[in-house]
């Protein structure tokens, strides 16, 4: 064969590629990550930060460990799977570097490689603290949305508990949301995970809202929650209606049963 890709000296497609789009000078930046996972809590929160702060894209990350797939956006345009790093100017002491992605890597090695690349970019932009936003799946519907947390050093934990975060004891966090935190120390950064309590059955803007409130308190950075509060209310209304219909169906079925006819149980 005349042409041998991949042999020493002839480049394959690199496993991780970083496309730098701008060179910002963020003010005391803090990295905040939210990737797709159970409950979509983290991704929804990260996307919200990008929107509400009109964040500017800094870099794109491509990984051959992303699933073999192309996304189609609302305009009908096909877009390769990627991760994106944004710079959000808060004007409040700490800027935010927000990282999110279309998918999680499909392999262990891919997850560690992508995390290392993102943390390295953030470190180069002088971040030394990374927050990972994710879901704490309970399997049941709750009125309140508590926020659970962990950090890579004991000394940071009071900063969480003093701001209403319940410290997790034992257990673990899987996927990129866990690996970003676990890999922080390698870059000399502190890693913190904030997990919003949610059932896991429905998309839950209220859980993302809780997590963002906790982040806001911990950093002392105000975040305009108007829009996400509205989404949370809408979601709650829809859910109550569904619940109401279910309960009504159960009552009717019970009544029917008493009358000896088979009922429909919602």
Which residue, 192 or 206, has its beta carbon nearer to a second copy?
A: 192
Smallest distance, a second copy to C-beta of residue 60, A: 8
**50, burial (CB in 10 Å: exposed 0-12, middle 13-18, buried 19+):** buried
Smallest distance, a second copy to C-beta of residue 197, A: 16
Which residue, 160 or 219, has its beta carbon nearer to a second copy?
A: 160
Smallest distance, a second copy to C-beta of residue 240, A: 27
Which residue, 76 or 262, has its beta carbon nearer to a second copy?
A: 76
Which residue, 184 or 212, has its beta carbon nearer to a second copy?
A: 184
Smallest distance, a second copy to C-beta of residue 124, A: 10
Smallest distance, a second copy to C-beta of residue 244, A: 29
Which residue, 15 or 128, has its beta carbon nearer to a second copy?
A: 15
Apex 210 CA angle, 206 and 211, nearest 5 = 120
Neighbours of 6 (CB within 10 A): 9
Residues 6+ apart with CB under 8 A from 17: 61, 62, 63
Reading the block at residue 175, the tokens are 């996927």
Distance, first Cα to last Cα, the chain: 64
Q: Are 227 and 236 in contact (CB under 8 A)?
A: no
Which residue, 109 or 229, has its beta carbon nearer to a second copy?
A: 109
Which residue, 118 or 206, has its beta carbon nearer to a second copy?
A: 118
Q: What is the CB-side half-sphere exposure of residue 27 using CA atoms within 13 A?
A: 9
Phi and psi of 136, rounded to 5°?
-110, 100
**What is the spatial distance between Cα 206 and Cα 82, in angstroms, rounded to a whole number?**
27
- The strand pair at 165-167 and 147-151 is best described as parallel
In the DSSP assignment, the letter for residue 145 is -
Smallest distance, a second copy to C-beta of residue 75, A: 6
Q: Are 147 and 164 in contact (CB under 8 A)?
A: yes
Smallest distance, a second copy to C-beta of residue 25, A: 18
């Amino acid at each position: 064969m005349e042409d041998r890709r991949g042999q020493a000296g002839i480049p394959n497609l690199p496993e991780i590629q970083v496309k730098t789009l701008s060179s910002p000078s963020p003010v005391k930046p803090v990295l905040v990550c939210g990737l797709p996972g159970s409950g979509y809590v983290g991704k929804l929160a990260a996307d919200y930060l990008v929107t509400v702060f009109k964040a500017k894209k800094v870099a794109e990350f491509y990984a051959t460990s992303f699933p073999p797939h192309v996304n189609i956006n609302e305009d009908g345009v096909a877009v390769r799977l990627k991760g994106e790093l944004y710079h959000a100017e808060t004007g409040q002491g700490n800027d935010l570097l927000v990282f999110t992605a279309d998918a999680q890597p499909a392999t262990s090695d891919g997850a560690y490689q992508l995390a290392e690349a993102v943390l390295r970019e953030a470190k180069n932009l002088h971040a030394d603290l990374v927050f990972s936003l994710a879901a704490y799946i309970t399997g049941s519907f709750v009125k309140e949305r508590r926020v659970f947390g962990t950090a890579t050093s004991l000394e940071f934990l009071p900063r969480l508990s003093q701001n209403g975060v319940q410290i997790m004891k034992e257990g673990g966090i899987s996927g990129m949301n866990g690996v970003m935190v676990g890999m922080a120390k390698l870059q000399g950064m502190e890693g913190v995970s904030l997990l919003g309590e949610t059932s896991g059955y429905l998309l839950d803007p209220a859980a993302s809202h809780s997590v963002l409130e906790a982040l806001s308190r911990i950093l002392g950075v105000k975040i305009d929650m108007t829009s996400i509060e509205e989404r949370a209310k809408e979601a709650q209304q829809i859910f109550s209606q569904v619940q109401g219909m279910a309960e009504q169906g159960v009552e009717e079925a019970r009544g029917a049963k008493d009358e000896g006819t088979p009922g429909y149980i919602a």
